[in-house]
Amino acid sequence: MIDEIALVEELQNIQTKEKAFRILIKEYKERLYWHIRKIVISHDDADDVLQNTFIKIFKGIDNFKQDSKLYSWMYRIATNESITFINKRARERNIDITEMKQELVSNLQSDRWFSGNDIELILQEAVATLPEKQQLVFNMKYFDHMKYQEISDILETSVGGLKASYFHAVKKIELYIKKKTH
Amino acid sequence: MRENAKHTQDGKLSEDIKTGFTVPENYFKGIEDNFLLNLSEKKLPKNNVFEIPKTYFEEFDDHIIEKIKPKKGKLINFKKIKLIPVAATVALIIFFGANFSFNNNSELSSDEIVNWVDVNINTISSDDIAFAFTDLNFDDMNPYFTIESEDIIESLINSDDIDFIIEHANINEIN
């Protein structure tokens, strides 16, 4: 287990910054990648957003006050970068963000980096129809097995609120799949 | 209701018959929802359907480190660039301050100003600059900041100080 406090101190010291940043990337790149990938869907976009995320982390680490956990802070940056990315894409195409998300999912059928079957594709479509917070909570809870408290630290929402969001998300997805498969 | 409800063997709450077992507050309220949630979750697929290129994560570290490193060959002495207009302005403030305080009727030609700046620019200390610009945060002037050549061109085109910079700046661009 990584000692976050010691790592942050090294990251904020100019002499040890690069070495510590390598450790940080090694430790968190996969978790952050999969978190981003589930939001932006395509590998190329996830790669761009992950790079931007780490660049922002590198530039912002000196101002990180350790009020929250390092991983929560990084997840927040990754989440914001992902949402900003989709918003920007939607603006460029002059479409609504929900439409944009559905378009991203509809591209999955021809995506070489997607290996899902029909039902798994429908699940992704269903997730894309959810409001933003429900979508984030569903991905973090269902796929990433994160605890409500961890999600609460990242999204800065109460545990009770998250439980309700997750419950609604699962129910909506179940209904969506039912409609699509019957 | 008490915080930790005591439970009886026939499933009913009682103050009289105590088993000693307790449950968290609101446990029974949420159990039905949790059960239904579990049922719904079990109907959903859970595989990771997203794939990545084989060596993606191995190559990522070096790629990102390369991106955050200051670029050699395009590194400009940022402090110098930033300080040219600042120093020039400070020089002018000091110049005007010194001259007008003694002779309010004098008219200054641009040549006089340029000559004074030429002579005195090397004597202006960082303290003079800090004193003249108390609202500037010099900590923001990150020495590791790199400027792309396109940014410099754009900045120069939009700069009011372009003539001054062309005539007086000694920018050493490292190629």
Pair A162, A151: CB distance under 8 Å? yes
Does the distance separating the beta carbons of B64 and A51 come in below 8 Å? Answer: yes
Q: Which candidate, A138, A137, A136, places its Cα nearest to that of A173?
A: A138
pLDDT over 50 (residue B172): no
Number of domains in chain B: 2
Pair A3, B38: CB distance under 8 Å? no
A31: helix, strand or coil: helix
What does the alpha-carbon distance between residue A31 and residue A145 come to, in Å, rounded to a whole number? Answer: 12
Q: What is the mean pLDDT of residues A134-138?
A: 96
CB under 8 Å to A47, separation ≥6 — which residues? B56
Query: A1-113 belongs to which CATH class?
Result: mainly alpha
Does the distance separating the beta carbons of B64 and A55 come in below 8 Å? Answer: yes
Does the distance separating the beta carbons of B45 and A120 come in below 8 Å? Answer: yes
B24 inside domain:
yes
pTM of the model: 0.64
Q: What is the mean pLDDT of residues B149-170?
A: 59
What does the alpha-carbon distance between residue A140 and residue B148 come to, in Å, rounded to a whole number? Answer: 39
What's residue B173's pLDDT?
43
C-alpha angle B158/B163/B165, rounded to 5°?
Answer: 85
Are residues B44 and B88 located together in one domain of the fold? Answer: no
What does the alpha-carbon distance between residue B102 and residue B98 come to, in Å, rounded to a whole number? Answer: 7
B44 inside domain:
yes
Pair A81, A36: CB distance under 8 Å? yes
What's residue B148's pLDDT?
64
Rg (CA), chain B: 36
Kindly report which listed range (B17-21, B38-42, B120-124) carries the lowest average pLDDT score: B120-124
For the question of an ipTM over 0.95, the answer is no
| Selected residue with higher pLDDT from B39 and B155 | B39
Q: Which candidate, A44, A24, A160, places its Cα nearest to that of B68?
A: A24
B68 inside domain:
no
Task: Pinpoint the residues of chain A covered by CATH 1.10.1740.10.
Answer: 1-113
Best CATH choice for the domain A116-182 from the list 1.10.10.60, 1.10.10.10, 3.90.76.10, 3.50.50.60: 1.10.10.10
pLDDT over 90 (residue B23): no
Dump pLDDT digits (tens) for B44-88. Answer: 888 888 999 999 999 999 999 998 887 765 555 555 555 555 555
Residue written as tokens 């269903």?
A: A126
B62 inside domain:
no
What does the alpha-carbon distance between residue A83 and residue A97 come to, in Å, rounded to a whole number? Answer: 9
Share of chain A above pLDDT 70, in %: 99
Does the distance separating the beta carbons of A29 and B57 come in below 8 Å? Answer: yes
Q: Which residue of B has its CA nearest to A117?
A: B49
Nearest-by-Cβ selection for A114 from B41, B51, B68: B51
Q: Which candidate, A82, A78, A86, places its Cα nearest to that of A32?
A: A78
B71 inside domain:
no
Does the distance separating the beta carbons of A51 and B40 come in below 8 Å? Answer: no
For testing contact with chain B, the best of A29, A59, A108 (most B CBs within 10 A): A29
B155 inside domain:
yes
Whole-number Cα distances in Å, B72 to B29, B81, B146: 64, 17, 9
Q: What is the mean pLDDT of residues B160-171?
A: 54
Q: Which residue of A has its CA nearest to B70?
A: A18
- Structural domain including B126 reads 78-168
Q: What is the mean pLDDT of residues B149-174?
A: 57
